Amino acid sequence: MGSKDDQLKLGVIGGGSWGTSLANLAGRKGHAVDLWVYELEVKKQIRSHHENRTFLPGVTLSANMNVTNNIAKAVYQKDLVLVVVPSHVMRMTTAQFGDHLSPDTILVSASKGIENDTHLTMTGVMGETLPFLSPDRTGVLSGPSFAREVSREVPTAVTVASKNQDTAELIQRALATPFFRIYTIDDVMGVELGGAVKNVIAIAAGAIDGLGLGQNTRAALITRGQTEIRRLGLRMGAQPRTFTGLAGIGDLVLTCTGDQSRNHTVGKRIGKGENLADILEDMQMVAEGVKTARSVYNLSRKLGVEMPICHTVYHVLYDNMPPREGLFTLMTRDLKYELDAV
């Protein structure tokens, strides 16, 4: 395998908008990239037109990026492998390529979610499916980053987390560009929880917009949503300062306010009275917050963590609670002191 930071062999697992955008970024930087896509049609599009017309239309992709449906080829003898698949298929996907992954490869999760049955974050799932993989060679990439804007080279800042600083810095150097700035951090749990739970809060933010409410309401929701994310994070051993950073408040603000947010879109359509099943049937890409809402609801109850906004989102999604009723319930809870004890 290569060792020079300026010419690495990369595998990217997942050909959605974010996976394609990251593969394209790495290819434009000069790395040799194999992008694994699940859909045969997407492979044909990229090979014929240098464009992922299904998930990232209008973006001409780097010639350094090879597309494949062979997952073993995509991970074999790579310096870095980025896993960018929906959270509910993380277990199945990583289990498929374990036998072909070198123990020297650094594995980076760029997926955001919490598994429904186990309540594991994505690195937790990878730890079970790839038990030979050292946490020192594992990283997490997160932060406020819409795929389409990254593909257009809009200035963006994100965070990479790893328990090993050398690993974090290698990923940082491998992917950073003049328009894609990467910071490092060692709080893997905090970065993963920030990236996962903000999607649930974004559904609530979308519902506020769908109901035609004001910016006061949205600002309050984002602030109190941040409190809930921090509570869960502290209970699970995360560092509180992480939630003031790019993977915390940065990603939360973007997902709660940006029109490109799939989770915000789901919430907005629910706020306008549409049925969740119909909304999901219309969507080509996954809105992670829908499944994560179930994980957060059950995990927070198990841990005894107070998360009223996330619980309300769960009841709206899965118990047919009307959004206005959910908002009224939140606004009429017992009055409290604002700040948590820690």
Q: Is 163 a catalytic residue?
A: no
Clarify whether residues 202 and 323 are in a common domain: yes
Domain CATH number, residue 244: 1.10.1040.10
**Cα separation of 37 and 41, whole Å?**
9
Q: Are strands 138-142 and 106-109 parallel, antiparallel or unpaired?
A: parallel
**Cα separation of 298 and 338, whole Å?**
25
pLDDT at 3 (0 to 100): 44
**Cα separation of 113 and 317, whole Å?**
17
Clarify whether residues 46 and 170 are in a common domain: yes
**Cα separation of 290 and 192, whole Å?**
17
Clarify whether residues 142 and 66 are in a common domain: yes
Clarify whether residues 39 and 175 are in a common domain: yes
- What digits encode the pLDDT tens for the residues 135-156? 999 999 999 999 999 999 999 9
The burial of 227, by beta-carbon neighbours within 10 Å (0-12 exposed, 13-18 middle, 19 or more buried), is given as: middle
- What digits encode the pLDDT tens for the residues 150-197? 999 999 999 999 999 999 999 999 999 999 999 999 999 999 999 999
Helix (H) or strand (E) holding 193: helix 188-210
What is the DSSP secondary structure assignment for residue 60, as one 8-state letter? P
Q: Please name which of 265, 269, 191, 187 lies closest in space to residue 229, comparing C-alpha atoms.
A: 191
Range of the domain at 281: 189-331
Clarify whether residues 15 and 145 are in a common domain: yes
Give me the number of domains the chain comprises: 2
Residue 236's CB is within 10 A of a number of other CB atoms, namely 16
Residue 236 CB contacts under 8 Å (≥ 6 apart), including other chains: 189, 193, 303
Clarify whether residues 197 and 93 are in a common domain: no
The low-confidence residues of the chain, meaning pLDDT below 70, are 1-5
pLDDT at 103 (0 to 100): 87
For residue 18, CA distances in Å to 120, 138, 266 come to 22, 19, 19
Of the three residues 134, 154, 186, the one that is the final residue of a domain is 186
What is the DSSP secondary structure assignment for residue 115, as one 8-state letter? -
**Cα separation of 267 and 153, whole Å?**
28
Q: Please name which of 252, 220, 233 lies closest in space to residue 333, comparing C-alpha atoms.
A: 220
Helix (H) or strand (E) holding 81: strand 80-83
Of the three residues 186, 203, 221, the one that is the final residue of a domain is 186
pTM: 0.96
**Cα separation of 121 and 113, whole Å?**
6
Clarify whether residues 30 and 77 are in a common domain: yes
pLDDT at 1 (0 to 100): 45
Please check whether residue 339 lies inside any domain of the structure: no
Of the three residues 186, 206, 229, the one that is the final residue of a domain is 186
For 10, phi then psi, to 5°, come to -120, 145
- What digits encode the pLDDT tens for the residues 87-116? 999 999 999 999 999 989 999 999 999 999
Which residue in the list 29, 78, 112, 198 is annotated as catalytic? 198
Please check whether residue 340 lies inside any domain of the structure: no
Please check whether residue 288 lies inside any domain of the structure: yes
